[in-house]
């Protein structure tokens, strides 16, 4: 594996990301490292899991390092997981962060507890496992070390899953939930393309969103400025937007808020 991707909530103001890159470069100098993002909101494991799940299909197979770890230094496990599809390996804390991406790639076929990995740096700090555990383990695997040699074998059924709300049909419409927001105020819902089959929602037609008039459209400019639309985003997930505005603010939505969408 010659590619290693890196996602975290570290931000770019401190030296955390750069130091992790340095550790990887010392262990695996020939491995290419691509940063997915380091802008995950602090301690927001679920947002990290969602971003990892939707972003990784656009990257070649490789080792995928993810660190959003509010329980660093506790008894939570550090893990490396091999996925069934495309032979991808996920490395990070066992707090649900890796679970959605693992499901996207066919589930886990091999799991290793790397908390005491022979690849980790010594003495490992209690508060910086990104540098001392996850980065060296990911680098070693990317450089060709066997996954089984990275730690103790673990039953794949023991891997923690992230809790998510569940959308459901409601007559001809849907009851969905706001599971993420972007910097434009667009709202990601828990409805993927395949789940729209059989609903009464038809592209180009008027709809109601929590009692407000909207349109099921293709892109933002399909409605007038300030208009509310329902659309499939770049990841083919149902979303809400206001053309040149914020759907989050317009609808007063918080995380996991219920969103009712029905034909007008």
Tens of pLDDT along the chain (264 residues) come to 689 999 999 999 999 999 999 999 999 999 999 999 999 999 999 999 999 999 999 999 999 999 999 999 899 999 999 999 988 999 999 999 999 999 999 999 999 999 999 999 998 999 999 999 999 999 999 999 999 999 999 999 999 999 888 899 888 889 999 999 999 999 999 998 877 776 778 899 999 999 999 999 999 999 999 999 999 999 999 999 999 999 999 999 999 999 999 998
DSSP per residue, 192-212: EGGGGTTSS--TTSEEEETTE
Domain identity same for 152 and 175: no
Domain identity same for 113 and 199: no
Of 110, 139, 158, which marks where a domain is finished?
158
DSSP alpha helix (H) spans, the chain: 16-27, 45-55, 99-104, 129, 135-142, 247-251
Spatial CA neighbour of 80 closest among 69, 71, 88, 91: 91
Domain identity same for 153 and 32: yes
Range of the domain at 235: 168-263
CA distance linking residue 97 with residue 91, whole number of Å:
10
Q: What is the CATH number of the domain that holds 70?
A: 3.40.50.10790
Instruction: Report the predicted TM-score, pTM, of the whole model to 2 decimal places.
Output: 0.89
Of 139, 158, 177, which marks where a domain is finished?
158
Domain identity same for 87 and 172: no
Domain identity same for 222 and 247: yes
237: phi then psi, degrees, rounded to nearest 5 = -110, 140
Confirm whether 132 is domain-assigned. Answer: yes
Confirm whether 163 is domain-assigned. Answer: no
Total domain count, the chain: 2
Domain identity same for 65 and 178: no
């Amino acid at each position: 594996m010659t590619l290693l991707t890196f996602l975290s909530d570290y931000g770019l103001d401190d030296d955390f990301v750069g130091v992790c890159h340095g550790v990887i470069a010392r262990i695996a100098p020939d491995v290419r490292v691509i940063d997915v993002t380091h802008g995950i909101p602090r301690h927001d494991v679920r947002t990290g899991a969602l971003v990892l799940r939707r972003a990784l299909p656009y990257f070649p197979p490789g080792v995928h390092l993810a660190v959003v770890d509010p329980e660093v230094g506790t008894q939570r496990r550090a893990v490396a997981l091999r996925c069934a599809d495309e032979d991808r390996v996920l490395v990070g804390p066992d707090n649900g962060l890796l679970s959605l991406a693992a499901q996207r790639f066919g589930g886990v076929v091999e799991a290793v507890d790397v908390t005491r990995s022979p690849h980790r740096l010594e003495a490992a700090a209690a508060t910086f496992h990104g540098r001392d555990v996850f980065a060296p383990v990911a680098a070693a695997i990317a450089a060709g070390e066997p996954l089984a040699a990275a730690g103790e074998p673990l039953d794949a059924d023991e891997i923690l899953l992230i809790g998510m709300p569940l959308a459901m049909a409601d007559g001809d419409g849907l009851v969905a939930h706001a599971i993420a927001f972007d910097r434009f105020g667009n709202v990601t819902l828990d409805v993927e393309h395949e789940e729209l089959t059989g609903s009464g929602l038809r592209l180009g037609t008027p709809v109601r969103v929590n009692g407000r008039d909207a349109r099921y459209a293709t892109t933002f400019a399909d409605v007038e400025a300030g208009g509310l639309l329902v659309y499939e985003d770049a990841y083919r997930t149902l979303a809400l937007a206001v053309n040149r505005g914020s759907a989050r603010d317009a609808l007063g939505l918080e995380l996991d808020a219920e969103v009712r969408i029905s034909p007008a």
